[in-house]
Amino acid sequence: MEKFFSPSKWFVGFCGLFIIVWLALGYIRDQRIKEEAMLLVDKHFSYRYPIGDGSKKVLCEAQSENAKIIRRTTTDAQVQVSGKQVRTIDGVKTESPFKGNITLYKNENIWRVGQLQSIE
């Protein structure tokens, strides 16, 4: 049997390089979605409001530590974000862990919040 095609070292190298670039782009895309989700959760889970006559204030700051993509398509992504919330009431700080799911929708190459849900 005769060989009709035998790949050269340049062809194999090009295919290997193409696969490496494709995997790197997927990794960068996932990291971008995770970072965007963490920033949005920090923004939405942080708040400040006065108590009573306004002399006491409650300050709550969310600090995201970990994000995990649960589901991703070309137009939407669901990400689970966990971290801690630091509540300050009249200078007394308390920390508590939090976990939330955020659904992001892609519109004109910009990820926008679709749904935000607190799990814990």
> What's the whole-model pTM score?
0.79
- Size of the chain, expressed as the number of residues it contains: 120
CA–CA distance, 85 with 65 (Å, rounded to integer): 11
Percent of the chain with pLDDT over 90: 47
Q: Give domain limits for the chain.
A: 9-118
Task: Give me the residues paired with residue 28 across strands.
Answer: none
Structure tokens at 35: 């970072």
Please answer whether residues 58 and 89 qualify as being in contact, where contact means their C-beta atoms are separated by less than 8 angstroms: yes
- What is the assigned CATH class of domain 9-118? alpha beta
Please answer whether residues 78 and 70 qualify as being in contact, where contact means their C-beta atoms are separated by less than 8 angstroms: yes
CA–CA distance, 19 with 13 (Å, rounded to integer): 10
pLDDT tens digits along 88-106: 888 888 999 989 899 999 9
Give the closest residue to 13 by CA, choosing from 1, 4, 23, 21: 21
The model's confidence at residue 118, banded by pLDDT at 50, 70 and 90, is: confident
pLDDT tens digits along 11-33: 889 999 999 999 999 999 999 99
